[in-house]
Structure formats: structure tokens, C-alpha cells
Amino acid sequence: MASALIPPQPPGPTVGRFPIAGLVRRARRIVRLSQQQMARFAKVAPSTIGRVEAGSLTLSLAVLERLLGAAGLYLVVVDQEGRVVLPMADREDVHDGADRRYPSHLDTILDPEPGEWWGDIYGLTSPPETYHRSSADREARRRRSQWEVRVAQHRGVPPPPPVDVYY
């Protein structure tokens, strides 16, 4: 009975759980284009559209965007609840001493206060920006911040300990 609850995996290449063949056919239906007309719009061979719709060809992202773009459709990234995920903003003014971006998985600290940089304990000069290296420290800060910001959600829950020890 459990197999009746799980939808079958669509044949051929997919975007998430959606078959690419069905998405391209839907785009073609929206703008009422023939395979040849859509191929001309996307600058691909007409046989490419047929192979995609048959599920026998996996497209590059650029070609898929052009095919969906014929119908005014766009690819987006969504989370598990269906909310659109926006890309991280690029800040050209925040780079390390070797002109590299800071790691994306770490929270960048602009103009660190005394004690917020790991090099403070060694008497090093603070940089204009840095990040917390300790994953335990980062998680403790995140828990405390969420508790402070999401008051209604954490009503009646004791606060996490304050984060005042740096590295």
C-alpha cells in the first residue's frame, strides 16, 4: 500500500520532481509554437525539441532557459515550502587581504568590535571585516539571534546562554 502513496518517478531528465519534457511541452503550448518555431526561437535544431519532449535528451541549463523563455517562463530556486530562494548579494568591497571573497558558509562581520576576531587574543590588528571561525560559536550566536528575533515562536522558552566568549 505504501507504493500507492509515493508518486512514480517521471521518466527522463527532470528539474526537481518535474520532467523537463513536460515543462518544454507546456511552454510550447502556452505560446502555441510548433517544434520548429520554438527551435528557431531558442537557436537549436528542430530535432532537439523533439528529443527533449520525448525525454531522450538532457539539455544544458542555458538551452532550457531559452526554451522556457520562449513562453516568458523563468527557472527559479525554491525551498521545501515553495518559497523563492534569492541569491546572496555580491559585495565587491568585502574581500580578504588576497582579494578573495570570504567563505559563503560563514557570517561576515563588518567592522569587528574588540573580541570579535580570533586574532584579538594574539594582539593582532583587526581587519575591516572578518568572520567567526568556530562552528560551535557560530551556532550559539545563531540560536541566540533566532530566540531574540522570533519572540512569538519562542514564547515560554528559556533563552539560550548569552554568547560573550570569543574563541
Domains (ranges, CATH) in the chain?
8-69 (1.10.260.40), 103-167 (no CATH)
- pLDDT, one tens digit per residue, over 28-57 is 999 999 999 999 999 999 999 999 999 888
Q: Please give the grid coordinates belonging to residue 82.
A: 515553495
Please identify which residue in the block is written with the cell numbers 568590535: 113
Q: Which of 120, 118, 143 is nearest to 132 (CA)?
A: 118
Residue 166 scores a pLDDT above 50: no
DSSP assignment letter at 88: P
Helix (H) or strand (E) holding 108: strand 108-110
